[in-house]
Amino acid sequence: MATLTGPPIARVVATLLLVAGLSATACDSSNGVASDLLRRTVPAGDSTPTLSGPVRTGQSVQFTWEFQTHLGASAYMDWLARQLHEYRMVARDASQLRLAKGVAGDAYVLMIALEPINERTYVRITFSASPD
């Protein structure tokens, strides 16, 4: 491990640059995960929404996306469980689904809220990543 040497202000600046670099890397990683999840949570034939975020709260980062699917709520939840088989189901009822997964010391959580509208379903997904 490298040792910081030099005047105290130089060590402080070097430490701040190191922390900022690590933070940017973590954010970039979360952006990639969120983009992949967005792609995997929209059924073929449905319009791909825009990813909103990241929103930072302390050490957590959060992304959201919303869209309408041609699938009914129950059919969408079943389809999604197959798409995201590596996530464990934490909670499920008729209008929401919560999935979670641990990755390298981080906790990934997906909150999926569903609202039936005629023969379609309005879907709002929130993905959050935080230290475990």
pTM of the model: 0.78
Let me know if residue 69 belongs to a domain: yes
CATH number at residue 44: 3.30.530
* Residue-number span of the structural domain to which 97 is assigned: 8-131
Q: For residue 20, give the amino acid letter.
A: A
Let me know if residue 22 belongs to a domain: yes
Let me know if residue 40 belongs to a domain: yes
Distances (CA, A) of 79 to 75, 76, 109, 118, 131: 6, 5, 18, 19, 28
pLDDT at 11: 44
Residue positions counted in the chain = 132
Let me know if residue 1 belongs to a domain: no
> Per the structure block, which two tokens stand in for 129?
């990543």
> Residue 118: left if φ>0, alpha if ψ -120 to 50, beta else—which one?
left
Cα–Cα distance for residue pair 56/63, rounded to 1 Å: 9
Averaged in consecutive runs of 10 residues, what is the pLDDT profile of the chain (132 residues)? 51 36 48 94 96 92 97 94 95 94 94 94 96 86
Let me know if residue 27 belongs to a domain: yes
Let me know if residue 2 belongs to a domain: no
Say how many C-beta atoms besides its own lie within 10 A of residue 2's C-beta: 6
Cα–Cα distance for residue pair 55/102, rounded to 1 Å: 20
Let me know if residue 85 belongs to a domain: yes
Q: Which residue matches tokens 């869209």?
A: 67
Let me know if residue 90 belongs to a domain: yes
| Cα–Cα nearest to 19, from 56, 57, 55, 59 | 59
The answer to whether residues 106 and 30 touch, using CB atoms and an 8 Å cutoff, is no
pLDDT at 31: 85
pLDDT at 119: 87
Domains of the chain: total: 1
